[in-house]
Amino acid sequence: MFVPLSLAYSKTGHTFQGQTCGPGHPIPCIIVQPGTIKMERTCPGLLYMFLSRATTIGTPEDRSTSAIFFFTNELTKKRIQNLTTTMSGEICKKIARRSKWVQLLNKNKLKIKISKKQKEDLISWAKGTTVSQNIVHKIIEDTSWRKSNSLNF
């Protein structure tokens, strides 16, 4: 008796941000263990991040073409529809804090008044300005503006 093995690779959700998986991509599919609904309420947006990595979810007739599979049966329709409230109907603490933070940011948003001419001039300048790789390296290597000589960005 033998067990067929396949070479696999693992990443945390945080290190997988910005990448995609599916047909035509270096990573053809991902297998996700979404955790409990309590985990989603503690880390809002993490489940969405996983879901948004997949380029295809297959079809009801053929799930084998999906780029995302779930390791457990904890992902239910009810769970996806109710990610922001507790079982008693209260808004989750992290969701409430995030909403309060967004409101504060919106309230204190700097309103920049720029004329159409200034905007056109800025866009024209940006299109015509290029910085060579050598200049970028010189700027990075210039330590005179730092308070210390250590390279901790």
- Mean per-residue pLDDT pooled into runs of 10, the chain (153 residues): 79 83 88 81 81 86 86 76 76 86 91 90 90 84 67 49
How far is it, in rounded angstroms, from Cα 2 to Cα 36?
34
How far is it, in rounded angstroms, from Cα 116 to Cα 122?
10
Q: What is the DSSP letter of 15?
A: G
Amino acid 146: pLDDT: 64
Domain borders along the chain are 14-95
Amino acid 101: pLDDT: 92
Amino acid 122: pLDDT: 92
Nearest to 47 by CA among 33, 60, 59, 57: 33
**Contact of 3 with 37, CB cutoff 8 Å:** no
User: How would DSSP label each residue in 111-146?
Assistant: -----HHHHHHHHHHHHH----HHHHHHHHH--TTS
Residues 6+ apart with CB under 8 A from 50: 13, 16, 30, 32, 34, 68
Question: 101-119: b or e for each residue (b if 16 or more CB lie within 10 Å)?
Answer: eeeeeeeeeeeeeeeeeee
Q: Which two tokens stand for residue 114?
A: 């720029």
**Is 0.85 topped by the overall pTM?**
no
Amino acid 144: pLDDT: 73
How far is it, in rounded angstroms, from Cα 53 to Cα 70?
13
Q: What is the DSSP letter of 90?
A: P
Nearest to 74 by CA among 102, 39, 46: 39
φ and ψ at 142, to 5 degrees? -70, 110
Looking up tokens 């779930």, which residue turns up?
70
